[in-house]
Amino acid sequence: MKFVKTAMFLALSGVLSLAAAGEIKPFNQQDFDKLTQEGKPVLLDISATWCPTCKEQKPIVEGLMKQPAYKDVTLMTIDFDSAKPTLKMFKVNMQSTLIAFKGSKEVARSVGDTTPSGIEGLVRKTVY
């Protein structure tokens, strides 16, 4: 019986943490425009699969997106190697770039930051 209760608790915890998680999805111009026009917080993550700095950033960013404080933030991923027109539009020259939007206004940008506190500070600017 104790095992069943523990299993049910863990399953419920997983469901609740998903409900409190920010959405992560590939960049789409229509979705980005809709979110920013509605005043929603958006974080753009420009990365490359071969980039060691991007690999260091990824678990930090994904961990933040699971925190209840950032449940309303949408993380949109952009592939550095295949999205050149999008990179040009956002004036991005390097992979490992994070751009924070609060509505349609860019509120923060970082390139190559792999510190949890630095990345969280950037994400926090989208919601506070």
Domain ranges of the chain: 22-127
Which H, E and C letters describe 37-78, residue by residue?
HCCCEEEEEEECCCCHHHHHHHHHHHHHHCCHHHCCCEEEEE
CA distance 56 to 59: 7
Instruction: For residue 25, give the nearest of 67, 70, 65 by alpha carbon.
Output: 65
Question: What digits encode the pLDDT tens for the residues 39-86?
Answer: 999 999 999 999 999 999 999 999 999 999 999 999 999 999 999 999
In angstroms, how far apart are the furthest CA atoms of the chain?
58
Q: Domain 22-127 class?
A: alpha beta
Question: What digits encode the pLDDT tens for the residues 107-118?
Answer: 999 999 999 999
